[in-house]
Structure 1
Amino acid sequence: MSRKYKFIDLFAGCGGLEDGFLQSKRYRDIAAVEWLKPQVDTLIHRLETKWKIKSAKQRVLHFDIQREDELFYGWKDEVYGQNKGLDYHVNKAKGIDVIIGGPPCQAYSVAGRVRDENGMKDDYRNYLFEHYLSVVDRYKPKVFVFENVPGILSAIPDGTPITKLIRDGFNGIGYEIVDNIKKYAKIDASDYGVPQSRNRIIILGIRRGIVDDPQELLHKYYAEILPKYKVKVKKTVADAIGDLPPIYPTFDEEKHKNKEAYTIPNTHITWHESRYHSIRDMKIFGMLAEDIESGRNEYTNSKALSRLYEEKVGSKSPIHRYHVLRKDEPSTTIIAHLYKDGNRFIHYDPKQCRTITPREAARLQSFDDDFEFIGSRGDAYQMIGNAVPPLLAKKISLALADLLDNI
């Protein structure tokens, strides 16, 4: 029987990365750290119901990772309750092999820097990786997996590239990461069976001293071991959500006062319910989906979509606001902005005249249908958009287990 490697998960969110590691059956969960309550509740629920971890309430540390002393030694707090701390869990497990996770990506994303008047230079999230660094330094795992957005390659919040700060930081505590992050560490989830084009930076770090040549092994991981888990045929939007019951609108302008009611599909699958849309928006969604289905493609470029927005909504927008998911292609990147609106995630069926449901978003992120999101619909969209696709996490973890087996 294969050895199981022990891991802790930092910035765990709702547990997409963790779920993939557990799905591989090569890892044992020791602890996870997350500070947002809906995400914590969701992760605990998943660990208890799917993975039968009875101590999940103790293992999932609902806490602010910036408060390091309490994080390590334990705390009693009005907001975060109480816990014995990470030291207790790691010592009980007699050490760990792997640390996984990735700081919130908003401060590194190109979109975030465009929206912020100061280019996110003052955002505290730029430096949350330092706390990830502290945890790695304290528990000295053999390896770590650090996940983030491609925007991290160009983020320079204080005049020094974030990638240099990260490389120098890990180097200073005895870990080596690949010499060319851009060349090796940029991974597209669609290559690994996720029905979505989603580029992410996956930084693998190896502790010096456990192998003779860490760079050689890092190159082998990215160029040989991980690619073995690629799929031959990419999964499409229709592959992922085409079998879900349709949700059709019921038009009644007078009754709903410019709001449109949707029929709720008869299904046991949770979270497959549409948000409400104005009748104006629904007509736009139906028209755009029909434009693609018919093959006319009059509204498939950004200028035409911007003109349409201005004509229908009556205001200008610097970016086009609408996008219909292409039925026979992987989805565009699912993002947390979905909790605000889904205008860039319009269902491809013109008869449904709507944006995608939380369950459809979850399927495009490769979450299983039995993955329950605890919280409001907005919470669910946000958790799904911020997560690492579990299927991608599973492939990364299987490749990592191959690497660890060889050390």
Structure 2
Amino acid sequence: MKKLNFIDLFAGASGMSEGFVKAGYIPVAHIEMNEEACYTIKTRAAYHYLKSKKKLNLYYSYIKKEITREEFYKNFPDEILNAVINIEIDDNSIKDIFKKINPQNQEIDLIIGGPPCQAYSLLGRHQDNIENDPRNKLYIQYGRFLKQYSPRAFVFENVPGLLSANKGQHFKNLKAYFRKLGYEVYHDTLDASDYGVVQARKRIIIVGWKKEADFGFPDFVKTKKKYTVNDAFEDLPELKPGEGYQFINYKNKKNSYLEKFELRNGIDFVTQHISRPHNERDLAIYKTAIQKWNNQAIRLRYPDLPEELKTHKNESSFIDRYKVVNGSGSSHTVVAHIAKDGHYYIHPDEEQCRSISVREAARLQSFPDDFYFEGSRSAAFKQIGNAVPPLMAYAIAKKMKELLWQI
């Protein structure tokens, strides 16, 4: 059977694309407005190209910083790197984007992606201008790609707040618009922890089918066993606050979780195991939070801190801003705010007493260890927090492939 292809819109760091590539799809183009995320996508595209050529040693040299990015990129055909389009999708740019996507007259099987979701988040919904936020209408731009390329199906991802934004009217408008374009539209709320991700992360998945090939909402196969954050962190070397390694050997052999879901997939070192520094007050708060959670399963509330550790008098807002990742279960949802500070993602090991590293955040999102994030530490955290977990995307991709091959 021929390999299915796709276009990834609002691609971010290509977490969703990673799941589809793993399932055997071929990316035609990625469109993303953030420059650092685009470099991440290019580097990952280079990885997949080198893997197909059995020349991954070149990739390993790059992520170890033995060669520069410029030297690394010189090894790839233009079509590999040019398929990543660094531009914001809007009324002014969309025609130019269509010109840059050249599918060589081939049909596009699938369009995937999810517009920026901050406007639909619980925080975003408190904004007074939500109805005027241009991000609310990005589904229209998504639809223009459906109209231009007429794929057999699409997969649209977003936060649960999409369903209730503007009292549900935005979602009604979205469904009506996609149906007008010729698609039967279905949706459900998925939790990433059902697909091998050690994180409680709920997302709305909208699936659209051309009306002549309507399969309804697919039954995505869930994993039978739940794994824990400790399973995901077990082999990573201990770090002190502010300590980090561009690359370092694993602490021990891979366990069943890392092997089953291929997070450790062939290399004998881990990259970007880098933690942020913390001041003495934060470290004292972290220690208190870790002890409360590990010993009593109680979350630290800001008003409960000793007076000498408090930094402000507001004890009614953001009282849970210090949160320990649950080592013996699933993590709470990783979001882009992790780029600002680590207070909401404290490592569960009291001996380490710090916020999680870049690689640990990537593990919580189910990125494989050979996935490299371009840019600064903060840029990497932001890309990870905004991403679709690749393992959840992989479960979606496999089932979609099974159905698309029936058309």
- The TM-score range, normalised by the shorter chain, is 0.7 to 0.9
Structural mapping, 1:62-211, within 5 Å: 62-67=86-91, 70-72=93-95, 74=96, 85-87=97-99, 89-114=101-126, 116=127, 118=128, 120-156=130-166, 161-178=169-186, 181=187, 185-208=188-211, 210-211=212-213
Q: Distance in 2 between matches of 1:153 and 1:119?
A: 18
> 1:4 corresponds to which residue?
3
Residue type at the aligned position of 1:122: N
> 1:290 corresponds to which residue?
291
Q: TM-score normalized by structure 1?
A: 0.83
Query: What is the CA-CA distance between 1:162 and the residue it aligns to?
Result: 1.2
Cα 1:262/1:61, change in 2 over 3 Å:
closer
> 2:226 corresponds to which residue?
234
Q: Distance in 2 between matches of 1:88 and 1:241?
A: 41
Residue type at the aligned position of 2:309: K
Report Cα offsets for 1:265-321 as digits up to 9, x if no partner: 95442211110100111121122212333x234xx246x444328662231241221
Q: Is the 8 A contact 1:309 1:321 kept in 2?
A: no
Classify the secondary structure of the residue corresponding to 1:152: helix
Q: Tell me, which stretches of 5 or more residues in structure 1 are unaligned?
A: 75-84, 250-260
Classify the secondary structure of the residue corresponding to 1:370: coil
Cα 1:306/1:218, change in 2 over 3 Å:
farther
Work out the percentage of aligned pairs sharing the same amino acid: 39
Q: Is the 8 A contact 1:17 1:393 kept in 2?
A: yes
Query: What is the CA-CA distance between 1:207 and the residue it aligns to?
Result: 1.1
Query: What is the CA-CA distance between 1:406 and the residue it aligns to?
Result: 2.0
Q: Distance in 2 between matches of 1:67 and 1:270?
A: 39
Q: TM-score normalized by structure 2?
A: 0.83
Q: Tell me, which stretches of 5 or more residues in structure 2 are unaligned?
A: 51-75, 250-268
> 1:340 corresponds to which residue?
340
Cα 1:62/1:276, change in 2 over 3 Å:
same
> 2:14 corresponds to which residue?
15
Report Cα offsets for 1:167-197 as digits up to 9, x if no partner: 111111111102xx4xxx1000000101101
Cα 1:160/1:360, change in 2 over 3 Å:
closer
> 1:390 corresponds to which residue?
390
Q: Is the 8 A contact 1:288 1:350 kept in 2?
A: no
Q: Distance in 2 between matches of 1:50 and 1:306?
A: 50
Query: What is the CA-CA distance between 1:34 and the residue it aligns to?
Result: 0.7
> 1:78 corresponds to which residue?
none
Residue type at the aligned position of 1:71: I
> 1:308 corresponds to which residue?
305
Report Cα offsets for 1:28-77 as digits up to 9, x if no partner: 11111111100111101110123447322211111121045x433x3xxx
Query: What is the CA-CA distance between 1:366 and the residue it aligns to?
Result: 0.3
Aligned-CA RMSD value: 2.0
- After superposing the two structures, state which structure 1 stretch, 368-377 or 282-291, moved more: 282-291
Report Cα offsets for 1:316-349 as digits up to 9, x if no partner: 2412211111111011101000000111110000
Cα 1:204/1:327, change in 2 over 3 Å:
same
Structural mapping, 1:45-64, within 5 Å: 45-52=43-50, 54=77, 55-64=79-88
Q: Distance in 2 between matches of 1:98 and 1:107?
A: 26
Query: Alignment length, in residue pairs?
Result: 358
Structural mapping, 1:30-41, within 5 Å: 30-41=28-39
